[in-house]
Structure 1
């Protein structure tokens, strides 16, 4: 590790022991970053200097900021952080806000000032915020005024709360208005911690994932550069909040790296997201399979401006991919990423997509499928996915580091098959693989079959105990509007699945529900469904 610029050494002190890190690979020349690197400076100052500050950068329904506007606001906020609030390099700054221009400026300002960003999902409640605060020990909290109540209820451990958007004398926007327009970025080390991203809790207690300044650029210089291939006139829009690393890449890191612009709609439910795309002629969208399915059901929304459609966060069923292609002419770019890896590491560009496959290892990464003993399996066999690249898992003081990193590889917790062409085919989360009467049944495959039925809006599958078969498949199904839940409709769905996939995989139990339990980032919490049937 290089000489750190952090005066507050908390983040570096709480990295896992070096021998527990995954092996990092820097096989692309663009990944050979200098020892001193501030990612906010590279994303904003360097891009503005290279392409011009008059380029549009952040777009909402009411305002457009150029790169010069964002640079000015970012520098003013950085001056507030250092001069008024006493931030020193290495201090953690908790951020709580929606996707809006001021939150982008605050995020960049914290990093320019040498701080460590700890972003939190807007929907988190006090009880969910508390363990994040206890783990990260922030020195300061920047919070949209409309989201302050839960943060106050959680308690910040003495960290001052700076509101954004309230208009009072202590409001960040008011304070920043009178501060200087210039700020020299702290010369952080490339391997100084830039952000602590917390997992969304699909399996319970969230984990803090520490990522370096070079990591932030690496996700743009791998997936975005080699798979997405955006251009400086692209207009990105993302439905996840920037606290979710999938959204952070899609709405901030990727566009700023190439001098493009980001559309920041106030709300991103599928109908509103589709309307925003049509209204502003967005060219790149980052969202989840659920949203793509929902937008397909919207009549008369023009999505013809789209050039890049990216899906992650959940497995993309082939039926959704085919339906989207038929309706829009666009091939969805599927990908698998992880908070531990910061962004997507397996994917395929639109002209190389194979429906139903996640893709191939993104340039800069390598992947393999192994058995329970960590030995590679033959192409065509099911195994556990492992990956290496320029980024990797480094948990914040968490014993689960030893579970995610083994023998230098990141162990994602997913079951995959690799074919002879190097394409990876998702089977299930490792704990979603159901063994019934000796048969291996991948829950997502059953979900995909159910989702092909027009009466099914959403579906999630888990294994439940059975005296005769050990385990059987149970499906939790959300029906489409105006569809009646009944024993007859359950049987019809079971028969439908038997004709879609091998009959032994059909759900022997179907429960109709109003909604599936989800994390604040939209992922289905299957562990909660399992808890219901124990």
Structure 2
């Protein structure tokens, strides 16, 4: 087993109460972090494994130069400070070059999952008024289907993979060509710490996804909290986070957190279905020291067959494991610790924040708990009036924002002042999650306060799935909720009232599922469909999803 090392946080109470992280007037992650690390021309930033097993090593010097070339190339195309740019790429090194280049320029990258459909791309382009779209050939085929419906997109940039001849792609600019022609020195204006830096789309409950706007301080600098205290990273670590590029957790742990600490990241360009045995093989074969994965992954890793492999192929360099994205089952923590000797330390945060609560190395883990508040946050559980609740009382998880708002939070829901205002309650920002505190100050997750479904780490708004279902002629009305699931935590379930002339059956279930996959991102499709004659509603006609969720819990015999 790996020899333990002294953690960055040795005394939780002292670190929490004495925490300080200065925010300079000007800050740019590419210039102030990557360029400084690049002063050592040999310092490794990334160990990358391609789809075919190809191994490549990248230094910080590479990303410093490549992102400068990208910034200059984008500027030549007319992309300027403040311009929104959709970036839809798999785990290839160019993702980092492009995102860092846009940040360096002062443009606003909007990372998107590669699972988006053409309709999703069009919708995001319209809402964000995107100036540019950057993708690979798979994404290019999707975008070309809706290009005419994206009038604000003036530039489309293609990152060709596998020696693709770009000659067959009309209206696309070849990234590698323009980057090679650009200067490796960027001399553009500096960005202020409060300038817009990054936007992520987050799931909505009663409408389309919202845009979360971060400044150059909030995510890029604020993830010092995540990388230093929870991930517990050091300069000689090789850190593997299993998130996909379109999710905020990817920026948390595959960009800002590790590189702020000078650690290298391990990236596997895996694009197929998750394979637990392959993951364990990676941990055994490569010198990975720290692992971050959603609870769904850990649940699959502790199944019989993976566990048998793990017992005979112990990852010798692994020293620290964390989980995030959904609550982690105590039994999974127990099994993992029995076999590896390591405790999975659960953490909690949002697209809107950095890590705000976690099981930090000095703390004794209470299996199933979210841990204690992160340094830099006054976190509590409050009632509907904004008053703090005593231990044992369930309420809303909230961050104190008055008299001073933490700099490590999003600026606003971009172009949506109503949504921005709706998450405020007196002196507090409401996360949208419910919990209670125990007598020792540990937080315990209860569930969402709204209807967002958290399935295998994905956050899915029921509105999008219901909207997709409504486009099918067989659906008269639908209600989509989270249904408890032992492996995924929750799954998407749809209750459907059929239109006249249609009868329930397995064939129709499959047809509706495939329809949703086509209309919206495939991961959002309802894994269970139940046909009903009516849906529970309020006097005003709103569907009572809470009643449907309670029915599901009773069916699955949960407390």
Same fold (TM over 0.5): yes
Matched, 1:300 2:309: yes
What is the CA distance between 1:145 and its match in structure 2? 1.9
Q: 2:81 aligns with which of 70, 78, 89?
A: 89
Work out whether residues 340 and 392 of structure 1, in 8 Å CA contact, stay in contact via their aligned partners in 2: yes
Counterpart among 369, 376, 382 of residue 394 in structure 2: 382
Find the aligned partners of 2:217 and 2:370 in 1 and give their Cα distance. Answer: 26
| Deviations, residues 372-409 of structure 1 (Å, cap 9, x unaligned) | 22221111111111014323341012222222222242
Say which is worse superposed, 234-243 or 263-272, in terms of deviation.
Answer: 263-272
- Determine the structure 2 residue equivalent to 1:149: 141
Query: Structure 2 CA distance, aligned partners of 1:89 and 1:420?
Result: 49
Aligned to 2:430: 411
- Distance in 2 (alpha carbons) for counterparts of 1:305 and 1:75: 34
Contact 2:29 2:221 in 1 (8 A): no
| 463 and 100 in structure 1: CA distance in 2 versus 1, 3 angstrom threshold | closer
Residues 317 and 39 of structure 1, relative CA distance in 2, 3 Å threshold: same
For residues 22 and 29 of structure 2, what CA distance do their matches in structure 1 show?
14
What is the aligned counterpart of 1:34 among 5, 20, 24? Answer: 24
2:415 aligned to 381, 386, 397, which one? 397
Once the two structures are superposed, the pairs formed by residues 328-367 of structure 1 within 5 Å of their partners are: 328-341=340-353, 343-352=354-363, 353-367=365-379
> Superposed, which structure 2 residues align to 1:88-487 within 5 Å?
88-155=80-147, 156-157=150-151, 158-165=153-160, 166=164, 168=166, 170-184=173-187, 186-201=189-204, 205-267=208-270, 269-271=274-276, 272-297=278-303, 298=306, 299-301=308-310, 302-341=314-353, 343-352=354-363, 353-388=365-400, 389-393=406-410, 394-398=412-416, 399-431=418-450, 451=486, 457-458=487-488, 460=490
* Contact 1:237-1:284 within 8 A present in 2 as well: yes
* Aligned with 1:53 (options 18, 25, 41): 41
Q: Judging changes above 3 Å, is the alpha-carbon distance between structure 1 residues 463 and 77 closer, same or farther for their aligned structure 2 residues?
A: closer
- Residue 347 of structure 1 deviates from its aligned partner by 0.4
2:302–2:332 CA contact under 8 A, matched in 1 = no
Where do 5+ consecutive residues of structure 2 fail to align? 1-15, 50-54, 168-172, 401-405, 453-482, 496-512, 531-544, 550-559
Q: Which runs of 4+ in 1 moved over 6 A?
A: 26-29, 461-465, 517-529
1:128: how far off?
A: 1.9
Query: What's the RMSD between the two structures over aligned residues?
Result: 3.3
Do residues 68 (structure 1) and 61 (structure 2) align? Answer: yes
TM superposition shift of 1:420: 2.0
Contact 1:60 1:263 in 2 (8 A): yes
1:231 deviates by 0.5
Cα shift at 1:275? 2.9
Identify if the C-alpha distance between structure 1 residues 34 and 524 changes in structure 2 by more than 3 Å, giving closer, same or farther: farther
Deviation sequence 1:293-347 (CA, Å, 0-9, x none)? 1122214144343222221111111122112212222111211111122x32110
Change (3 A) 1:340 1:70: same
Work out the CA distance in 1 between the residues paired with 2:261 and 2:524: 29
Is contact 1:223-1:363 (8 Å) kept? no
Rounded to whole Å, the distance in 2 between the matches of 1:72 and 1:463 is 47
- The answer to whether the Cα contact below 8 Å between 1:41 and 1:112 also exists between their aligned partners in 2 is yes
User: 1:232 Cα shift?
Assistant: 0.7
CA 1:120–1:464: 2 relative to 1, 3 Å: closer
Q: How many residues end up aligned between the 2 structures?
A: 439
What secondary structure sits across from 1:208 in the alignment?
strand
Alpha-carbon spacing, 1:385–1:532, altered in 2? closer, same or farther (3 Å): closer
Deviation at 1:137, TM superposition (A): 1.0
Displacement, 1:531? Answer: 11
Q: TM-score, normalised by structure 1?
A: 0.75
Aligned to 2:535: none
For 2:359 and 2:489, the matched residues in 1 are separated by: 26
Deviation at 1:159, TM superposition (A): 2.7
For 1:160 and 1:464, the matched residues in 2 are separated by 39
TM-score (norm 2): 0.72
The 3 A distance-change label for structure 1 pair 223 and 60 is closer
How far residue 220 of structure 1 moved from its aligned partner, in angstroms, is 2.2
SS in 1 for 2:309: coil
1:108-128 Cα shifts (integer Å, max 9, x gaps): 000111111111111111222
